[in-house]
Structure 1
């Protein structure tokens, strides 16, 4: 059940972020705490790790295309 909740929540968060251009961690954190019943102490670093990995994944193509000053 929690896997389906996470997948559905991830799709919803992705759609909202594509429409609004907002930061993902503000939406991911409540999903981790409420959906997975993770303690806040574990959910915050996990959310930050996700944001870091996504930022690094987007930095590589930007550097290759020389869009980074």
Structure 2
């Protein structure tokens, strides 16, 4: 007979409590992993913004011509 992860009718109470604790820890670890991934994306976007800002400093300025302005 296969028991559900949280325990069935034949499961021992301590096993049920253990499985619930493991499930709660897994949920906490998953939540923290999502937060860390979001933080990493924030740093990558910030770094990309910094690099593009520095790249703009080295770009040549283009002078507008009178023909384009009507």
**TM-score for both structures, normalised by structure 1:** 0.42
Quick check: which one's helix share is greater? Answer: 1
- The structure with the larger Rg is 2
**TM-score for both structures, normalised by structure 2:** 0.41
